[in-house]
Amino acid sequence: MTRILKIGGSILTDKNQELAARQGEITRVAREIASHPEDVVLVHGAGSFGHIPAKKYRLPQEFSRQGLRVTHSGVARLCEMVVEALSQAGVDCLPVHPLSCLLLLDGRIDRFFIEPIKEMLEGGIMPVLHGDVAMDVAGKAAIVSGDQLVAYLAKVLQAEVVAVGSNVDGVLFSGRPLPRITREELKQMGSAIGGSAGVDVTGGMRGKLLELLDLADLGIDSLIFNAGKEGNIARALKGEWVGTRIGRTN
Ligand SMILES: Nc1ncnc2c1ncn2[C@@H]1O[C@H](COP(=O)(O)OP(=O)(O)O)[C@@H](O)[C@H]1O
Ligand SMILES: [Mg+2]
C-alpha cells in the first residue's frame, strides 16, 4: 500500500527569503513522518531554495545554464537537510533528484525512470524527492513541481493515500476549508483560488489543485491539508481526510 506524502516548501522554508530553512519545522515534520514511515514516498517542495533562484533567473521561460545549476543546488541542499532530519528520527531514506531521472515534454513529465524508487520501497527505504529543474525535450529546460511529481507517482504506483501538506487548512473558500472539491466546483469559484502568498513559480494553490484534479479524473482522490499543525501528518498518512478532499465530479 503505497502512500505519497508531499510537504510544501511553505512549511519547510520561509518562502520570502532565499535559502531560509525552518530547521525546527524540518525536525518536527521528520518526527511525525517517522511515526508512520511504512511504504511512504516523500516529496518535498522547493520553497525558497528553489522558487527564489528560479524567479531570479526567469526559469522556466528563459534558458539559463547558471540558473539551472544554482536552482538545482539549492533544492538539493534542502533535500539533504530533510534526509538528515529523517535519519535522525530513525527513518531509512535516500534522496532521489528528479533532474537526474526524468525528462519533460513541454513542462510535463514524459519519461521517468522510477525503478530505483520501487526498489527502495521494496527494501524498506523511503525515497525522498523534491521539486526540481529538469531538462525538457521541447524547450531545453523547465521546472517540475513537487505537486506534478505527486500526481505522476500516485498514478504509476497506484497509491492508496495521496496527501499534500501545505500551510493552509485546505482549499479555502470564504476563509473556510472546503471538505471536498471537484473540477466543476473549481470552475465556479473563479479567482477565489489563486497563486501563492510567497514566491512560488508553479502556481500556488491553483497549480496544486490542477495537478490533483487530473489525478482525480483517473479515480485517485487526494488530500490537501495543513502540515503546519502538529498531528496532521500522522492523520493524513493514516488516510484521514483532515483538510480538503480532491475528487472527481460525479
Ligand atoms: N483559495 C485558496 N485556498 C488556500 N490557499 C490559497 C488559496 N488561494 C491562494 N492560496 C495560496 O496558496 C498557498 C499555498 O500554495 P504554495 O505557496 O505553493 O504552497 P506550497 O509551498 O505548500 O506548495 C497558500 O499559502 C495561499 O497563500
Ligand atoms: Mg507550491
Ligand 1 atom 6, closest CA: 205
pLDDT in tens, the chain (250 residues): 999 999 999 999 999 999 999 999 999 999 999 999 999 999 999 999 999 999 999 999 999 999 999 999 999 999 999 999 999 999 999 999 999 999 999 999 999 999 999 999 999 999 999 999 999 999 888 999 999 999 999 999 999 999 999 999 999 999 999 999 999 999 888 888 888 888 888 889 999 999 999 999 999 999 999 999 999 999 999 999 999 999 998 7
CATH label of the domain that carries residue 85: 3.40.1160.10
Secondary structure class of 196 (helix, strand, coil): coil
Cα(217)–Cα(136) distance, rounded to whole angstroms? 25
Mutational test site, ligand 1, from 25, 49, 166, 206, max ligand atoms within 8 Å of CB: 166
Q: ∠ CA 117-119-124 to the nearest 5 degrees?
A: 95
Evaluate if pTM is beyond 0.85. Answer: yes
Q: How many domains does the chain have?
A: 1
pLDDT at residue number 201: 85
Cβ atoms of residues 184 and 249 within 8 Å: yes
Q: Say how many Å lie between the CA of residue 147 and the centre of ligand 1.
A: 12
pLDDT digits (tens, 9 = 90+) for 76-89: 999 999 999 999 99
CB 165 less than 6 A from any atom of ligand 1:
no
Domain, as residue range, for 212 = 3-246
Beta-carbon count within 10 A of 113 CB? 11
Q: Which three cell numbers stand for residue 235?
A: 492523520
Ligand 1 atom 15, closest CA: 204
CB 25 less than 6 A from any atom of ligand 1:
no
